[in-house]
Amino acid sequence: MRLMVIGDPARQKKDAPLVGNRIFDETTYAPIDKIRIGTGFGTQIVYKEEPVDVDAVLPIPTRRHLPMFMSAVAAFQSKAYLPFGMEGLLLFSRNAVAMPRLRQLGFVSGYRYYGLSSSVFTGIRIEMPAEILVGGRQVAVETRKQLLDVIRMHKGSKDIIMREALSSPVVESLVTDGKVVASIRHARTKTIKTRLDEDFKEQLADAVRLLGSDFGSVRTCENEIIGASLAPDFSLFNRIHGRRVSDSVLRPMLRRVDEERTIFDNVLTALRRFF
């Protein structure tokens, strides 16, 4: 059984545990910027100048290459198992979309502001201290002057999140196959593994399912959801827990691929070995 993991080349180390697994017979990591998709008379996906022929595809999307990931999801949808559809990808792609969706469904989520430009925050009133997530960095500010300085520094940046400073450590949980399989606590000086209440675990699993995916990570603070992602740091979860937590994402995937294969598929596979 062959698996292709499609990821962002900038985060290949985070996704490395998915490639070094013993669940699939063969696993290939393909950077999204090296994939070529051709359409017209049918659809063809090419990697290293060869048509892609695999049993399952696992995309690990990032915002940086979102248009390419959307194209890949659409192209592979009819060819191999995917953990999420286009709706799930769109919901996960922006916290500004995912968080209001979860609030509508009854989940508790801390209040924050979103913007596509730093200029929309110049007149904002927010309790201090505050935190700004911009350009892949999290910046803490203590005063309004510091806030304006950070905004000026990141003028022109896109996709900015601003919120009141979190008073407690953030807990990130890996969800797959309808359950939380690992949780880590991001304290000020280090990251450690932690445990969650069983009822709260069920809520996090429901959140991922309602956002249209079979797996993902959910970030919480004092039992409030503050973020969700389709691109967990698998290597961090493995390192903190001292075991291959990432395999829990792949096992149910293999089971579903097997379920989707018919007897006719198995006969064809057997015949190909002889001809």
Average model confidence (pLDDT) across the chain: 84
Whether residues 12 and 54 share a domain: the answer is yes
So what's the pLDDT on residue 119?
Answer: 73
Domain assignment present for 151: yes
Whether residues 151 and 179 share a domain: the answer is no
Residue 268 clears pLDDT 80, i.e. is over it:
no
Domain assignment present for 263: no
pLDDT in tens, 38-91: 887 777 889 999 989 888 999 999 888 888 998 888 888 766 788 888 888 887
pLDDT in tens, 171-198: 999 999 999 999 999 987 899 999 999 9
- Eight-state DSSP code of residue 94: -
Residue with tokens 């995917």: 82
pTM value > 0.85: no
Whether residues 117 and 76 share a domain: the answer is no
Q: Are 118 and 134 in contact (CB under 8 A)?
A: yes
Domain assignment present for 275: no
Q: Give the residue-averaged pLDDT of 109-131.
A: 77
So what's the pLDDT on residue 153?
Answer: 80
% the chain with pLDDT above 70: 90
Q: Give the residue-averaged pLDDT of 237-255.
A: 92
pLDDT-derived band of residue 103, with 50, 70 and 90 as boundaries?
Answer: confident
- Paired tokens of 237: 């979860």
Whether residues 56 and 8 share a domain: the answer is yes
Residue 95 clears pLDDT 90, i.e. is over it:
no
Does residue 265 or residue 126 have the better pLDDT?
Answer: 126
Residue-range definition of the domain harbouring residue 50: 2-84
Domain assignment present for 203: yes
Domain count, the chain: 3
- Eight-state DSSP code of residue 177: T
Domain assignment present for 273: no
Domain assignment present for 53: yes
Q: Give the residue-averaged pLDDT of 5-13.
A: 93
Domain assignment present for 92: no
DSSP assignments along 180-235, one per residue: EEEEEEE-SS-EEE----HHHHHHHHHHHHHTTBSEEEEEEETTEEEEEES---HH
